[in-house]
Chain A
């Protein structure tokens, strides 16, 4: 099916998220849409898939103008969208998840779904793509890659001829990526269209037959293979971006030592892990979501209790102690979900700094607190005033606020996904601030799904797979492919 976008405009308040976008995608193509976070890619795809309505412009399918009112409408037209976090039902079974949203053939199956028939269709379809998902499994036991595969199957079963994939390669293993790309190529051969939205140059370069680049809401360029990476980067960012030379910081004395640490939760077990983290070191934790890195990190902060082994922080044995004890030893934990676990909606920046600061007496001195807050705002370049409530800040500024709230000095900073959802500028700024801390002797452990981030900023890397923890890898000696393999369980 040919897809044509003509003159698409979309405003979110004063922000011109999509500015006069013209794009033509013939059937049988894998179209790449490149752009960094905040460029307007997601908005454009939401318009195409019926999630939001464009303020101006037209969508043509096979030359005919269509009005797509909702995502359910979109699938009727043959457009299906695969979200970065697939929209499925975690506590339900794969097969039930498949059934919801489909309609029955005859009137009986409209009321009582024909499970046998659906199972057959499911099995046949997944054989085409060499997927192997257990239909009786519960969705919350699947990995992100498998949930993606399931969603692709479901959309195809419902008749999708255009498949939009939003950042699909974040957090999946190399093997899963290989299968995904093979599936997309097969679809293209069948005459279907795939739209591959990403900020990852290598993926787009490898897979896509055409590329369109968005920057700040505008379509700034299109390209066809062979691709010139530098040109694409210039289109994406408007300038050449360099992260800077990797700074070598000499690690100092040990800050945290783990001896034979074992952690258990209802899904998996991490066995007898040893690790020593020194001053100034940055250790990246890589792995697909749910492989154990998050519970590992939380155990290092005392949020979860290990079932065996020892944790020693600066010569103090903190095994089995709780989070407040860890914080008193200079450990800080920064969660990924900023608004759910990090900041308090409804409270202003000043109030957050009062809460994070030292208590002086019983009564709060607001004037003094406001002065301190203003200093921090300048120090961390936070776009906001002392009275701004934190939910009004952008993601990047919320992350800066979280950094600003951390105490000084700290022995150990534990961060979940430090730059998730942030634009490149904010991400670079955050890491600059973190590296400053490293120079002062703080060690950092962080989780990321972005392999580039792991390789760029870590000194050593730990890979997690189904509760198994790799030996620490030297980041300077590891490649993206090797990491991807380990994440997918190969090479252990």
Chain B
């Protein structure tokens, strides 16, 4: 009986993670091509609002999701244009857009605040959802969550198993070499940035039409998800599987925080609410610290065994970004 509640809770975790999965997978694809889309946070808010507002006005969930994706792709197009064609700083453009899209979301979303709207229905898969434990966990979800599973695997296979994926890796690592081999680097960067943006734009409605239906303006729990997705992209080593793992871990920790809150009355609720962010910093720390000079020097000063051991740990934790990330490519 108790295990049933846990299963339901965990199933909820999988569903709650879906928006983060979409955003992280999208950003992974974008960054693999060498572009950083820093506007993710604002993009998600804007697409969440747009998706919800569209769904309310047209009474169609599908149009809501499409609207969200269109918004995400549109914002990404601005990022792509500014950084690839106009060669402006990706960080600057992304940052301005993240702020502006947030304000746009609040401004345009004012009329639909607190309004109740359509919500994606649960869709248990026949047969599969009857399998003990795995069934209710994975296959008693809604369409959005199923899509998130698909996204992970398609992205993984695409990047690592297909020819186009190898070219994508090449473009991210050394655009000059990819160009020499016939890849239209800048066109590919546009494509993957917009594609990634569309996925980010899917994350918004995935939240406002499924996880926590409705648009509640500044009080929604959605502000900050975009930054987590950006950090998870790094933590995931630009690998969809590892990034998804991080996303599920993150959702799990949030859920644990809610669940354990009543049994820990002495810890203020803010601690558990804000816990993801120090955790994000901690993971980034672990991932990067092996690269710093002082660590290298300290390691060199240690006795052989300690040094070998620590180096191996740090090496396992380390992730390296695609070498051309953030650097514009002059295709002449």
Q: Quick check: B300 and A264 within 8 Å, CB to CB?
A: yes
Chain A residues packing against B (C-beta within 8 Å): 52, 70-72, 75, 87-92, 96, 99-101, 104, 109-113, 264, 266, 304-307, 320, 322
B87 within 8 A of A: no
**A302 CB to nearest chain B CB (Å):** 10
Q: Which of B44-52, B132-140, B171-179 is the interface stretch?
A: B171-179
Cα–Cα distance between A90 and B324 once the two chains are bound (Å): 12
Counting contact residues on chain B (CB < 8 A from A), the size range is: 20 to 34
B182 within 8 A of A: yes
**A357 CB to nearest chain B CB (Å):** 26
Q: Quick check: B163 and A90 within 8 Å, CB to CB?
A: no
Which residues on B sit within 8 Å (CB–CB) of A110?
Answer: 163
B116 within 8 A of A: no
B323 within 8 A of A: yes
Chain B residues packing against A (C-beta within 8 Å): 161-164, 166-167, 169-170, 173-174, 176-183, 296-297, 300-301, 304, 307, 311, 315, 320, 323, 332
The interface residues of chain A, by DSSP majority, are classed as loop
Q: Which of A87, A100, A264, A306 contacts B166 (CB 8 A)?
A: A100
Q: Given contacts A89-B174, A113-B163, A322-B297, is CB(A72)–CB(B169) below 8 Å?
A: no
**A440 CB to nearest chain B CB (Å):** 32
Q: Which of B169, B183, B296 contacts A92 (CB 8 A)?
A: B169
Of all A-B residue pairs in the complex, the 7 with the closest CB atoms, nearest first, are A101-B181, A72-B182, A87-B177, A305-B300, A305-B297, A71-B180, A113-B163
A-B contact pairs, 16 of them (CB 8 A): A71-B179, A71-B180, A87-B174, A87-B180, A90-B323, A99-B166, A109-B163, A112-B162, A113-B162, A266-B311, A266-B315, A305-B296, A305-B297, A307-B301, A307-B307, A320-B301
Which residues on A sit within 8 Å (CB–CB) of B307?
Answer: 264, 307
Cα–Cα distance between A110 and B164 once the two chains are bound (Å): 9
Q: Quick check: B162 and A72 within 8 Å, CB to CB?
A: no
Q: Quick check: B177 and A89 within 8 Å, CB to CB?
A: yes
Known: A92-B173, A307-B304. 7 other contacts (CB 8 A): A71-B182, A89-B169, A90-B174, A91-B323, A101-B167, A112-B161, A113-B162
Cα–Cα distance between A264 and B300 once the two chains are bound (Å): 8
Q: Quick check: B162 and A96 within 8 Å, CB to CB?
A: no
Q: Quick check: B173 and A306 within 8 Å, CB to CB?
A: no
Which residues on A sit within 8 Å (CB–CB) of B301?
Answer: 305, 307, 320
Q: Given contacts A112-B163, A113-B163, A305-B297, is CB(A100)–CB(B173) below 8 Å?
A: no
**A85 CB to nearest chain B CB (Å):** 10
Q: Which of B173, B304, B315 contacts A90 (CB 8 A)?
A: B173
Q: Given contacts A111-B162, A112-B163, A305-B300, is CB(A100)–CB(B181) below 8 Å?
A: yes
**A144 CB to nearest chain B CB (Å):** 15
